[in-house]
Amino acid sequence: MGVLDGRVALVTGASSGMGQATARLFAQEGSAVVLAARRGDLLQALADEIAAAGGRVLSYPTDLTDRAAVDALVAATLDRFGALHILCNPAGTNIKRRALTVLDPAEWDGMVDINLTGAFNVTRAVLPAMRAQRDGIIIHVSSGAVQAPDVSGVAYQATKHGMVGLTHGTMAEEKANGIRCTVLFPGLTDTPLLDKRPVPTPPEVVAQALKSEDVAAACLFIASLPSRAYVPDMRLLPSAL
């Protein structure tokens, strides 16, 4: 018996990193999982792995900046599994040319589209089903840079700050409908996003970073709480850095 038996979870960014680890863990704990990301081949590989282990899974390649595609993703989820209880949204990106001295306005726009508007699109799409069943958990993965500003770039920091407002505003409006919302702030995590840093992170620092599995474990804790409880926000940091 898993702690998510009978639940249905939609996990964005599931082709790698935090999303992949979270989808895998949710499936191990009994949830049906819907995998969303742009890279269909990687999604399908994970779906095959989960199915081989006896899990219930749907792979649905999706660009979160495309509202029609996101609506289709949620419709496919409901068609396959009949419900949608959990949205876990670790999807996001960063850019190498991130400092204000070199930041291209077009890249700023792209960061807003992916990190913030994408989060809005998927939140908006899941709410009707969650309202109807009076049950839902939304977990947005922001960044530790929100509490401790750094040189991760103003576009990254601004969009990750925006996710905080999206999360708490949604909670204020939707808690009467049985919907709970959490924003998670991971510190340095060893994911493919590190490859987008303008200067490579030293290996000895990466060795002390969080792993995607640590973030997945935090998401599982949040998702498995009883309906009477919720976590407004959670900061998760590497203990050695």
The single residue of 26, 60, 156, 185 carrying the catalytic annotation is 156
Q: Residue 60 catalytic?
A: no
CB atoms within 10 A of CB 226: 6
Task: Please list the active-site residues.
Answer: 156
